[in-house]
Amino acid sequence: MPILNRRSFIKAAGVLGASTALPVNLARAADKPVTVGFIYVGAKDDFGYNQAHAEAAAIIKGLPNVTVIEEENVPETVAVQRSMEAMIRQDGAQLIFPTSFGYFDPHVIKVARKYPEVRFAHCGGLWQKGVHPDNAGSFFGYIDEGQYLNGVVAGHMSKSKKLGFVAAKPIPQVLRNLNAFTLGARSVDPEITTTVIFTGDWSLPVKEAEAANSLIDQGCDVLTCHVDGPKVLVETAEKRGVMTCGYHASQAALAPKGYLTGAEWNWETPYRAHVMALQSGAPMNNFMRGGLKEGFVKTSPYGSAVSDAAKAAADAVKASMLKSELSIFTGPIRNNTGEVMVAEGTVLTQTDVVLERMDYLVEGVRGQI
Amino acid sequence: MSIRIPPVAARGLALGLPALPTVLAVATTVVLFSVFLWAREIPVLEAGALIYQGAFGSTFSWENTLLRAAPLMLTALCVALPARAGLIIIGGEGALVLGGLAAAVTPLWLPALPASLMWVAMAAAAMAVGGFWIGLSGWMRQRRGVNETIGSLLLSYIALAVFRHLVEGPLRDPASLNKPSTAPLPDAYSVGVISDTFYVHWGLVAGVVVCLLAHVLVRHSVSGFAFSIVGGNVRAARMLGLPVNRLVLVTCALGGAAAGLAGMFEVAAVQGSANAALIAGYGTSGILVAFAARHNPLAIIVCAILLGGVEASGSLLQRRLGLPDATTLILEGVLFVNLLAWEALNGRVLHWRIHWRERGRAPAEGVVQHG
């Protein structure tokens, strides 16, 4: 029989106090206490992909009856399998968010099969019904909408009409962002071009700095990127007096002068949905996707440098995206060698699977895959 | 001064002495790390208890530790074997990833075979490629005078670049859209766990067996003796007429083969295909293990388990105390610096060892006069 010690007394008193003070909590008091685990592939404060996840996890930490446990810098090896198992066996986690794309196959699948009573909500959109276990699932956001808006703002602000993009690998997700950014900018002025440099991997700070410098030397005056941590790029650009658009999380603090806006994840939305389903005992939603409208992605507040005209234009585009009136990939779209990729009259909506296999650079992108 | 030491104890001391620098290094690390935790206002005893619990506190922790230790045993041999012949090779990461790639493509290029035959073929391919890659460093040193430490490091970068190019280009499975990988290994060929109650893949057994074989090779074989002559004094080795170049190449090739085998198990038991996740730093951690073990293959088993334990416990430290992952890195860093610092004791250890061994051999004397 455990004796009520001081710590648990304080905890109980705290919960009691909080629930009487806040009526909202009373309604939630019926929710089961749950333990939720978050696993990140990099550092929680990387100003990028992992920070976007950690910021949302911090919000989940504040929910009543939810205990959050976290691990950072977990590589996509047997380490992540063991971290997931340890969360389950040592901490009693009932829901795990393995947040890196590369965790899913084979790691999440393997562990999910071994622990059918635990839920695994993977970030990346790879789950398929019938193929993968039912206690696993994926969620992902259409962040190309944010990159399109980045492009609109960059298109207004650029004087040289040359934009720069530092990309990790020429894979569909990255190309979709790069193309959306370019299409957004060229919707402002079709003369605009985007120069792309691929670094080869998700986190190569030295190469990213070299790429940023090289793009600036070539005359690009607005930079953005798709790498895990945009910190180096944003800092390099700020130092050299060049503007930037952010990615993953807000990098505004790193570039008070040149930061225009940014495409950010808003993982709070899917996280909350999964945690609430677990607490209420509802079945797991295995496949969740959304863009700006569904609250899966958001944009950084405009920086001080952004002109009123740019703000007005971007706000208008955003409003039509929120009303689902604007599709980014609307034909005709040519690749940068002149071939028609999306025919005139064809509108690819976000759910279209063709977009998930994107393997070309749109007209206006300087570079090759 | 006269000391009464029974000969058995003297022999024991002589045997245990080589471990002295490592033991002192571990002890100093514990002290320094405790000071660090204390300075950061982290409960030292609780953290210590968690490190123990996370690394060795339960069957689950042991599985966790051993799983992490398995590849390190093999990558440590990639440093330790060439070190017998006096080389410092630090490019094991490259041999591991290329070995893994070779293992991943072997089933694609061979007709269907029974699983055991296929594993042999995959291991052979991985070891051949890994052995060739580290062999290159040895060859460059012997034939072209290129420093093998720098040579193997640069070759490792080249290996990673070649690996990425092949996995994301010619050898990519078109179905692997956003995580470029080679075609997945058929389930029949994947290497499983030892048992459901001991959830560790067979790579651990391979690691231990290869370390034991390496021990026999370096301690109880003529070649092993020749390696240490080359490592001890290359001029003497040449005067004795030993084929120095060939011996150096052999140690490099064997070391590289061990790292390649680690890559094969990463592909067959963990990843299921070759992709960038293979580049996980096992090759670099292997350097730490090899130095900690003083390039002794038996000690490598122990040190790999120790390092695997540190890494396994980092996971618990993060969850229970909210410490950043860097805490584990600091622990590893302090450990490595201490190992190198206490290495300076080695000359004396050798002296003491001869001394105690002699006492162990003189059972009649009982009381030994000294000084």
Q: Which residues pair with A37 in a beta bridge?
A: A69, A96
> How high is the mean pLDDT of chain A?
90
What pLDDT was estimated at residue B361? 72
Number of C-beta neighbours around residue B322 at 10 A: 10
* B266 interaction partners in chain A (CB closer than 8 Å): 77
What pLDDT was estimated at residue A4? 45
Q: Smallest Cβ distance to B67: which of A37, A82, A101?
A: A82
Please check whether residue B205 is in contact with residue B265, taking contact to mean a CB–CB distance below 8 angstroms. Answer: no
What pLDDT was estimated at residue B259? 98
- The alpha-carbon gap from B104 to the nearest alpha carbon of chain A, in Å, equals 15
pLDDT band at B363 (very low <50, low <70, confident <90, very high): low
What pLDDT was estimated at residue B362? 60
pLDDT band at B346 (very low <50, low <70, confident <90, very high): confident
Whether residue B280 and residue A91 make contact (CB cut-off 8 A), yes or no, is: no
A303 three-state secondary structure:
coil
Q: Which residues pair with B263 in a beta bridge?
A: none
Query: Comparing A3 with A325, which gets the higher pLDDT?
Result: A325
Average pLDDT on A87-94 reads 94
In a domain, B152, yes or no: yes
The pLDDT tens digits of the residues spanning A205-227 come to 999 999 999 999 999 999 999 99
Q: What percent of chain B has pLDDT over 70?
A: 96
The pLDDT tens digits of the residues spanning A229-242 come to 999 999 999 999 99
Please check whether residue A146 is in contact with residue A264, taking contact to mean a CB–CB distance below 8 angstroms. Answer: yes
Chain A interface, Cβ < 8 Å to B: 37, 43-44, 69-79, 81-83, 85-87, 89-91, 101-102, 105-106, 124, 169-173, 200-201, 356-357
Whether residue A79 and residue B316 make contact (CB cut-off 8 A), yes or no, is: no
Domain count, chain B: 1
* A79 interaction partners in chain B (CB closer than 8 Å): 68, 280, 311, 315
What is the Cα–Cα distance from A4 to A6, expressed in whole angstroms?
Answer: 7
Please check whether residue A360 is in contact with residue A175, taking contact to mean a CB–CB distance below 8 angstroms. Answer: yes
In a domain, B108, yes or no: yes
What pLDDT was estimated at residue A181? 97
Question: B343: which residues sit within 8 A by CB, 6+ positions away?
Answer: B21, B291
Query: Comparing B91 with B335, which gets the higher pLDDT?
Result: B91
Whether residue A90 and residue B60 make contact (CB cut-off 8 A), yes or no, is: yes
Count, in order, helices (H) and strands (E) of chain A: 11, 17
What pLDDT was estimated at residue B10? 76
Q: Which residues pair with A137 in a beta bridge?
A: A121
What is the Cα–Cα distance from B247 to B259, expressed in whole angstroms?
Answer: 19
In a domain, B11, yes or no: no
In a domain, B189, yes or no: yes
What is the Cα–Cα distance from A119 to A161, expressed in whole angstroms?
Answer: 48
- The alpha-carbon gap from B277 to the nearest alpha carbon of chain A, in Å, equals 6
- The alpha-carbon gap from A123 to the nearest alpha carbon of chain B, in Å, equals 13
In a domain, B175, yes or no: yes
The pLDDT tens digits of the residues spanning A36-71 come to 999 999 999 999 999 999 999 999 999 999 999 999
All structural domains of chain A: 32-141 (3.40.50.2300), 144-261+297-366 (3.40.50.2300)
pLDDT band at A30 (very low <50, low <70, confident <90, very high): low
Whether residue B319 and residue A101 make contact (CB cut-off 8 A), yes or no, is: no
Average pLDDT on B83-105 reads 96
Q: What percent of chain B has pLDDT over 90?
A: 68
> Best interface-test mutation with B: which of A82, A85, A359, A369 has the largest number of B CBs within 10 A?
A82
> Best interface-test mutation with A: which of B59, B60, B64 has the largest number of A CBs within 10 A?
B64
What is the Cα–Cα distance from A245 to A184, expressed in whole angstroms?
Answer: 13
Average pLDDT on B349-354 reads 80
In a domain, B239, yes or no: yes
In a domain, B38, yes or no: no
Instruction: Transcribe B206-227 into DSSP letters.
Output: HHHHHHHHHHHHHHHSHHHHHH
Query: Comparing B350 with B156, which gets the higher pLDDT?
Result: B156
What pLDDT was estimated at residue B4? 66
Number of C-beta neighbours around residue A325 at 10 A: 9
A194 three-state secondary structure:
strand
* A73 interaction partners in chain B (CB closer than 8 Å): 325
C-alpha B231: how far from chain center: 19
Whether residue A172 and residue B178 make contact (CB cut-off 8 A), yes or no, is: yes
The pLDDT tens digits of the residues spanning A95-108 come to 999 999 999 989 99
Please check whether residue B274 is in contact with residue B104, taking contact to mean a CB–CB distance below 8 angstroms. Answer: yes
Average pLDDT on A310-338 reads 94
Q: Which two tokens stand for residue A276?
A: 């609430």
DSSP class of residue B188? Answer: G
What pLDDT was estimated at residue B344? 80
Q: Which residues pair with A66 in a beta bridge?
A: A34
What pLDDT was estimated at residue B52? 92
The pLDDT tens digits of the residues spanning B225-281 come to 999 999 999 999 999 999 999 999 999 999 999 999 999 999 999 999 999 999 999
Q: Is the pLDDT of residue A117 over 90?
A: yes
The pLDDT tens digits of the residues spanning A119-136 come to 999 998 788 888 999 999
Average pLDDT on B353-360 reads 78
* A37 interaction partners in chain B (CB closer than 8 Å): 319
Residue whose token pair is 């930061």:
A259
The pLDDT tens digits of the residues spanning A149-192 come to 999 999 999 999 999 999 999 999 999 999 999 999 999 999 99
* A178 interaction partners in chain B (CB closer than 8 Å): none
The ipTM (two decimal places) reads 0.84
The pLDDT tens digits of the residues spanning B277-304 come to 999 999 999 998 998 888 999 999 999 9
Please check whether residue B259 is in contact with residue B99, taking contact to mean a CB–CB distance below 8 angstroms. Answer: yes
The pLDDT tens digits of the residues spanning B114-156 come to 999 999 999 999 999 999 999 999 999 999 999 999 999 999 9
- Residue B90's domain spans which residues? 70-292
Average pLDDT on B6-15 reads 76
Q: Is the pLDDT of residue B370 over 90?
A: no
In a domain, B84, yes or no: yes
The pLDDT tens digits of the residues spanning B198-219 come to 889 999 999 999 999 999 999 9
Whether residue B270 and residue A78 make contact (CB cut-off 8 A), yes or no, is: yes
What pLDDT was estimated at residue B371? 40
- The alpha-carbon gap from B162 to the nearest alpha carbon of chain A, in Å, equals 12
Phi and psi based region of residue A136 (left: phi greater than 0; alpha: psi -120 to 50; beta: remaining): beta
Q: In terms of Cα–Cα distance, which of A92, A97, A52 is closest to A74? A: A97
Q: Which residues pair with A163 in a beta bridge?
A: A194, A222
Interface contacts A/B by beta carbons within 8 Å: 85
What pLDDT was estimated at residue B347? 78
Q: Is the pLDDT of residue A297 over 50?
A: yes
Residue whose token pair is 């699977």:
A353
Rounded to whole angstroms, what are the CA distances from A95 to A33, A40, A136, A277, A311?
A: 12, 15, 10, 10, 40
Chain B interface, Cβ < 8 Å to A: 54, 60, 63-64, 67-68, 161, 164, 168, 177-180, 201, 266, 270-272, 275-277, 280-281, 311-312, 315-316, 318-319, 322, 324-325
Whether residue B277 and residue A77 make contact (CB cut-off 8 A), yes or no, is: yes
